[in-house]
């Protein structure tokens, strides 16, 4: 029997103040512009220097403040054009909060239609030689960007992707050890040589001087020592390096990366809370059209069935002692249909998703069933998370323990929506179980203003809406769990949705610089701009601070690193996120188990015998007595912390 549930939501749009600059300059067929006399009253954080990626072309937009009044004047500099600036014209914000302007360039006029949020920008661009373009047909180009004045308000944190002498590449991070510290700390993560992956451990560097512009640091982990001096300007840094003992000074340079970063130094709780709120808003715009509330949502129940048979074909890596927990639950297949307001024109886009819910057979406990959101990885589906002997078995494990488990398909777009990044998974991940391809969130006639990870996280959050809308659940006991790509989306959902009280992310990405050259599946990449310019997984972890994050790493897992040992980068990422938890409270658990790219509970493993429970690194940070040593990240010794992950999960016993 098919039953349809209908849930309606109101849409709330927060708009910046808007006005009119140059009447008649807007693109043809665009929405009307609310006008006032005189200069445009534009969003307060619009004036300044914007570093923009326009379909791979780099530009600097300068929107100045003159005599304390925001003006429509400004310039646009194409970085590859030899320093020639062009005027910005027709700057205005309409009733939807959409910022529009155009720039006459030698090859034709570039017309922009964008949204801004807390110092980041996302939108569309059209190129014409004559009359204003038509919306939306001519706006096929895409732009992202960030405002220097927002992210340079303090001298730290700073991150650059740097090119060092000898063809080496590394990620350089600068911070201060404590909020009131006058000195600075730094790390350097080498990851490439001559364009090929060549990963070395992250090392602390001796930051001798940094004033927001001039930098001097020493690589004391290098033999012989290397001293670097450089000057930062805009989104770049450049200077000379000198090897201890002589030799010619060699040039080095870099570009800004991870501009949204939390950093790795200590922060106060108000500082972290402010960063979290602003960063969620920024990521929501860059990834998922501002993370709008759906205009409406329909959930259809397509039929119920018994659990997937536990026929003895057990996964040898499954370690939750499933024989002690019968499958006392029912599975119901679900179809989701939501209507999403477009970020740039107000039109509505329909989004479909598919999944399953497992409901315990017995009555709910006082307060309701605890809730688990189970997310599959590559080649899997929502259905697979309930397979007792399959790779993504954790949905079944939570359901056996009395959780109401909601699972939604995590997958990939059709080829036409992502061919510029990757060209496999033509039929989806598990089409036989309902997880085929997922058409992008896009207005008719346009490519998407969303990234794939944004769509995946949004689907998961809408599934969570359904689960938490039920009368038989405990809305305070909510866990998200996933492996591999499912762990990646667990990171995103927990970072963006504070209804998640506990996140268990297994085999999730560790270091995007390494991943970019490691041969990992590129579906984490952005089609609009460079993901590495904005964040790293450690920043997603820091967004969970004040709640609980269990990050699982297999000591033998080489999915994200070929280093010896491969778990180094996971330890480095967790170390960078730890200060946020120290400030905000919550719990950060780095579960390092003996296995490879598998989900583990920590109770019992068929392949290895008795497990030690949830084991965490004995050494989880650099040694203060020997700060230039990198031995700590390669130390694989662990200490038992909990009998299983269920001891860290509300409702898990």
- DSSP, residue by residue, 30-77: PPP----SSS----TT-SEEEEEEETTEEEEEEE-EETTEE-S--EEE
Instruction: Quote the pLDDT of residue 98.
Output: 86
Instruction: Quote the pLDDT of residue 63.
Output: 82
Domain 158-256's class? mainly beta
Closest to 321 in 3D by CA, of 586, 605, 121: 605
Tell me the β-bridge partners of 351: 338
CA 139 to chain centre: 26
Q: Name the CATH architecture for the domain at 12-151.
A: Beta Barrel (2.40)
Domain residue spans of the chain: 12-151, 158-256, 269-648
Count of C-beta atoms within a 10 Å radius of residue 321? 15
How far apart, in whole angstroms, are the C-alpha atoms of residue 5 and residue 362?
23
Q: Is the Cα torsion angle 635, 637, 642, 647 positive or negative in sign?
A: positive
Same CATH fold, 269-648 and 12-151?
Answer: no
Instruction: Quote the pLDDT of residue 297.
Output: 96
Contact indicator for 144, 52 with CB cutoff of 8 Å:
yes
Closest to 410 in 3D by CA, of 395, 389, 388: 395
Closest to 459 in 3D by CA, of 287, 344, 305, 306: 287
How far apart, in whole angstroms, are the C-alpha atoms of residue 71 and residue 40?
7
Q: How far is CA 584 from CA 182, 272, 579, in A?
A: 23, 7, 9
How far apart, in whole angstroms, are the C-alpha atoms of residue 398 and residue 374?
9
The whole model's pTM is what? 0.92
Instruction: Quote the pLDDT of residue 582.
Output: 98
Instruction: Quote the pLDDT of residue 612.
Output: 78
Q: Which fold has domain 269-648?
A: Rossmann fold (3.40.50)
> Which residue ranges of the chain lie beneath pLDDT 70?
1-44, 64-73, 312-313, 604-611
How far apart, in whole angstroms, are the C-alpha atoms of residue 527 and residue 442?
13
Contact indicator for 467, 359 with CB cutoff of 8 Å:
no
Contact indicator for 25, 133 with CB cutoff of 8 Å:
no
How far apart, in whole angstroms, are the C-alpha atoms of residue 578 and residue 499?
21
Q: How far is CA 588 from CA 504, 517, 541, 556, in A?
A: 10, 28, 9, 22
Contact indicator for 463, 406 with CB cutoff of 8 Å:
yes
Instruction: Quote the pLDDT of residue 71.
Output: 52
Helix 452-468 and helix 485-496: axis angle, to 10°? 70
Query: Phi and psi dihedrals of 135, rounded to 5?
Result: -100, 130
């Amino acid at each position: 029997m098919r039953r349809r549930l209908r849930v309606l939501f109101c849409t709330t749009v927060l708009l910046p103040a808007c006005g009119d600059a140059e009447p008649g300059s807007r693109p043809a067929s665009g929405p009307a512009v609310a006008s006032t006399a005189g200069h445009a009253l534009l969003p307060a954080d619009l004036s300044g220097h914007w570093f923009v990626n326009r379909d791979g072309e780099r530009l600097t937009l300068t929107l100045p403040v003159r005599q304390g009044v925001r003006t429509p004047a400004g310039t646009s500099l194409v970085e590859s054009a030899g320093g020639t600036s062009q005027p910005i014209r027709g700057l205005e914000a309409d009733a939807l909060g959409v910022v529009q302007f155009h720039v006459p360039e030698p090859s034709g006029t570039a017309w922009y239609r964008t949204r801004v949020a807390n110092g980041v920008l996302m939108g569309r661009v059209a190129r014409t030689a004559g009359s204003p373009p038509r919306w939306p047909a001519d706006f096929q180009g895409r732009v992202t960007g960030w405002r220097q004045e927002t992210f340079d308000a303090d001298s730290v944190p700073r991150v650059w992707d740097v090119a060092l002498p000898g063809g080496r590449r590394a990620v350089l991070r600068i911070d201060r050890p404590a909020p009131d510290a006058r000195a600075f700390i730094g790390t350097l993560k080498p990851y490439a040589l001559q364009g090929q992956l060549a990963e070395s451990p992250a090392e602390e560097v001796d930051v001798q001087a940094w004033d927001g512009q001039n930098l001097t640091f020493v690589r004391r982990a290098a033999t012989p020592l290397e001293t670097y001096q450089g000057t930062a300007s805009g989104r770049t840094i450049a200077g000379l390096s000198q090897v201890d003992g002589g030799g010619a000074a060699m040039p080095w340079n870099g570009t800004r990366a991870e501009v949204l970063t939390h950093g790795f130094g200590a922060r106060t709780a108000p500082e972290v809370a402010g960063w979290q709120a602003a960063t969620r808003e920024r990521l929501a715009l860059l990834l998922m059209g501002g993370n709008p509330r759906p205009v409406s949502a329909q959930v259809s129940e397509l039929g119920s069935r018994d659990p997937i048979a536990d026929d003895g074909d057990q996964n040898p890596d499954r370690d939750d002692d499933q024989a002690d927990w019968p499958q006392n639950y029912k599975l119901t297949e679900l179809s989701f249909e939501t209507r999403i307001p477009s970020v740039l024109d107000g039109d509505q886009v329909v989004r479909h998703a598919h999944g399953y819910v497992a409901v315990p057979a017995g009555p709910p406990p006082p307060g309701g069933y605890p809730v688990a959101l189970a997310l599959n990885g590559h080649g899997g589906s929502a259905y697979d998370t309930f397979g007792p002997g399959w790779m993504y078995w954790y949905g079944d494990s939570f359901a056996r323990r009395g959780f109401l488990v909601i699972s939604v398909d995590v997958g990939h777009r059709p080829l036409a929506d992502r061919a510029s990044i990757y060209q496999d998974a033509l039929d989806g991940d598990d089409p036989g179980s309902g997880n085929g391809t997922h058409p992008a969130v896009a207005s008719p006639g346009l490519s998407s203003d969303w990234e794939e990870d944004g769509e995946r996280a949004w689907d998961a959050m809408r599934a969570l809406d359904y689960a938490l809308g039920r009368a038989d659940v405990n809305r305070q006991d909510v866990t998200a769990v996933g492996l591999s790509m499912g762990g990646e989306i667990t990171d995103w959902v927990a970072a963006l949705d504070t209804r998640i009280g506990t996140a268990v992310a297994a085999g999730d990405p560790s270091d995007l610089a390494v991943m970019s050259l490691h041969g990992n599946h590129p579906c984490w990449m952005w089609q609009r701009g460079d993901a590495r310019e904005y964040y790293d997984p450690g920043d997603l972890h820091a967004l969970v601070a004040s709640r609980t994050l269990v990050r699982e790493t297999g000591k033998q897992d080489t999915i994200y690193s070929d280093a010896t040992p491969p778990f180094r980068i996971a330890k480095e990422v967790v170390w960078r996120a730890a200060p946020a938890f120290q400030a905000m409270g919550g719990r950060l658990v780095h579960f390092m188990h003996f296995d490879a790219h598998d989900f583990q509970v920590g109770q019992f493993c068929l392949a290895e015998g008795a497990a030690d429970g949830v084991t965490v690194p004995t050494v989880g940070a650099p040694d203060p007595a020997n700060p230039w040593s990198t031995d700590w990240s390669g130390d694989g010794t662990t200490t038992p912390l909990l009998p299983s992950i269920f001891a860290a999960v509300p409702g898990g016993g």
